[in-house]
Structure 1
């Protein structure tokens, strides 16, 4: 399943230019659906036209006629007239749940060893539960593995690495928030400790150690894959 996507955590406000005042955002500041829909349509159509000009699109079977410039332009005009829809929904129950959800994917192994069924030709086949089909267990190929040297997490603004502790301290002071009431009072480093992937996910005490190293197939790049056990 090819499913590239990004997760964002956006604050509902920020510090003033001088850093001495907290500026709150409007209640409906996040994700203006209609604007995003039109922006996505414009970006998508722009890239589609570039691919067509570069000859990188393939037209087979019943859409072979789109190779002709006239018919391709007619398709573009039809798509531009349609209202594109960007699906947006409210966040989870609270901010702590959001951090917990993302933390399981960023600081722990998202797929446990018992769910991995086989590794062939550089693809991982794992078991998943389809809640829409009577909670049946099914198999899926995992393709969206991060490339080598790809940065998994990036921080911006008041959460940027350079001045994070200083700015968060100012934000808490301006918002009159006590450190005792903040689960991650030591900053995002506390979240990393809370979701320590080396801890056993069952007992929370045992330490995960490398049991064996599984090498990929002959035609796959020489990259080590570690299997962890408590």
Structure 2
């Protein structure tokens, strides 16, 4: 596949500008003292011409506006919505399974005992005898080895 946006580093740089930036960067600050803070800002309402403006605020007003952008504990900057949002995923998936009547199947669980003794309808292609299901394994799972231990095989 074609590398996206010049590679993973470029994608990471692009996303980090939006996910980990602060309300105002240091290079936009012009001056600050006990009484006032002066900074540059961009007026997006102006379509043509110089959009850069300078604003001077009282220090306490600047701090109040800055703190509006600080998230309280427990809040995440990147929003996830939907049934599989990580904040409540475990509870939501459990509720969905309960509503659908589905049971949880873990990767390492062996198949249930009532499945193992089942026989297949097709006879063995070599001897014509009945074939039994001796193991069921899920996609991506390796079958258990049926070979004898190495000490006995030699």
TM-score (normalised: structure 1): 0.21
Higher normalized helix content (fraction of residues)? 1
Q: Which structure is richer in relative contact order (CA contacts within 8 A, separation 6 or more)?
A: 1
Bigger Rg, structure 1 or 2 = 2
